[in-house]
Structure 1
Amino acid sequence: MRYDIPYAAPGQVIGLLGGSFDPAHEGHAHITREALKRFGLDAVWWLVSPGNPLKTRGPAPMAARIEQAQAVINHPQVTVTGIEERLGTRYTAQTIAALQALYPRARFVWLMGADNLAQFHMWQDWKRIAETVPMGILARPGQRISARMSRAATLYAPYRILGRNSQLLAQAHAPAWCFVNVPMKDVSSSAIRASGAWSA
């Protein structure tokens, strides 16, 4: 199935929120709205991945996940895309490199919850990601301490932008990262699947 390539205007700063979105939920929408506000982004793209290399169980079909994600987020600055499948990339570092080649005049910021920062050092080429694009980290329930004490946070501590200066992230040069505390919604895709509320 073909997925349209999103449009990016020259000079636009685009936040990238990757994941299986299996299913997308209000927690994803909440941190997206917060990221737009806190980090001075022009847009956010939800990168619905073909599959998460760190998960053994395969996700629901791509078309179903994209349809659900579009139903969850209805925002003029947010685009839901399956471009990773189109690009043929499997890992975040590969996706970022491909997007930078495809959109040389756009600027990208990688977005993730604090739970992902805690295990970021397990990602393929994680240092290359941190040194290629600025990263915006949004607090999630129960993960603040483990994220701040993580290997990545320790290694890149000199490049941290304080939360009160979060608007500087969009124009920062990597490595640069900013951790912001946001009003949290304790909802997860795994809990939704476990409840039986999501089947595709």
Structure 2
Amino acid sequence: MNEVSAGRPSVAKGVPLYTEGMRIGLLGGSFNPPHLAHRAISLFAIKRLRLDRVWWLVSPGNPLKDNDRLHDLRRRAEAARLIADDPRIEITCLESVIGTRYTADTISYLRRRASGLRFVWIMGADNLAQFHRWQNWQRIAAQVPIAVIDRPPQSFRALTAPAAQALARYRVSENQARRLATLRAPAWVFLTGLKINLSSTGLRNPDGSWKSGT
């Protein structure tokens, strides 16, 4: 398990157990709080992309967001485990372990540390819309295939955003989604059909506390 202790956890505890050749989806975020949409996206990706596991990368803090109301990392990780409730979804605080908040660094580390795995980065359409603002986003796209999950009404904004336009020639058709993990990056797919519309923002009170039941 990837518990966060008072001291810095070992690197080994930051990476979930795996076997060589697994197809792993990576879903990063603050999970502040985690919710059923995170679970639904993960199970949807497992089915459509033929993944063996999805790893939730619980971030110490998003560089593009105000983190003043971010809850304790341990609490977010423990809440994520309760919400995930599926042996195919693993929770890790890897970014805290290796000392980064940037996805590009996290992916570079994982590709070195677990080179026998086939990784896919998973993001919602809302993240594709601002992907060009991520640090070293071109390096991310060059390192792992990306699966974008449609989140209406973000579809048009996402697909016309700078990153989507820059990567347009590398987009693969949705009926080829099951092959994505085996493709050489850059490669990405836009997946439609998931009907759920929850967000962490909508599950927080104005003071930043989590609403009852989350």
Q: What TM-score does the superposition give when structure 2 sets the normalisation length?
A: 0.89
Q: Determine if the alignment matches structure 1 residue 15 to structure 2 residue 25.
A: yes
User: What is the Cα deviation at residue 182 of structure 1?
Assistant: 2.4
Q: Over the residues paired in the alignment, what is the CA RMSD in angstroms? A: 1.6
In structure 1, the residue matched to 2:66 is 56
In structure 1, the residue matched to 2:157 is 146
| Contact persistence 1:139–1:184 (CA under 8 A) | no
Provide Cα deviations, 1:173-198, integer angstroms capped at 9, x if missing partner. 10000001122211111111137516
| Contact persistence 1:113–1:140 (CA under 8 A) | yes
CA distance in 2, matches of 1:177, 1:198: 37
User: What is the Cα deviation at residue 61 of structure 1?
Assistant: 0.2
Correspondence for 2:180 among 169, 175, 182 = 169
CA distance in 1, matches of 2:160, 2:109: 31
CA distance in 1, matches of 2:60, 2:212: 18
CA distance in 1, matches of 2:155, 2:60: 28
Q: Which runs of 5+ in 1 are unaligned?
A: none
Letter in 2 for 1:197: K
Provide Cα deviations, 1:150-186, integer angstroms capped at 9, x if missing partner. 1111111111111121111010110000001122211
Matches within 5 A, 1:36-75: 36-58=46-68, 59-75=70-86
| Contact persistence 1:24–1:69 (CA under 8 A) | yes
Q: Which runs of 5+ in 2 are unaligned?
A: none
In structure 2, the residue matched to 1:34 is 44
User: What is the Cα deviation at residue 199 of structure 1?
Assistant: 10
| Contact persistence 1:15–1:108 (CA under 8 A) | yes
Letter in 1 for 2:211: A
Q: Determine if the alignment matches structure 1 residue 115 to structure 2 residue 129.
A: no
CA distance in 2, matches of 1:72, 1:83: 19
Letter in 1 for 2:82: A
Structure 1 runs of 4+ aligned residues shifted over 3 Å read none
Letter in 1 for 2:193: V
Provide Cα deviations, 1:88-128, integer angstroms capped at 9, x if missing partner. 12200000001111111111110000000010000000000
Q: What TM-score does the superposition give when structure 1 sets the normalisation length?
A: 0.95
* 2:26 partner SS: strand
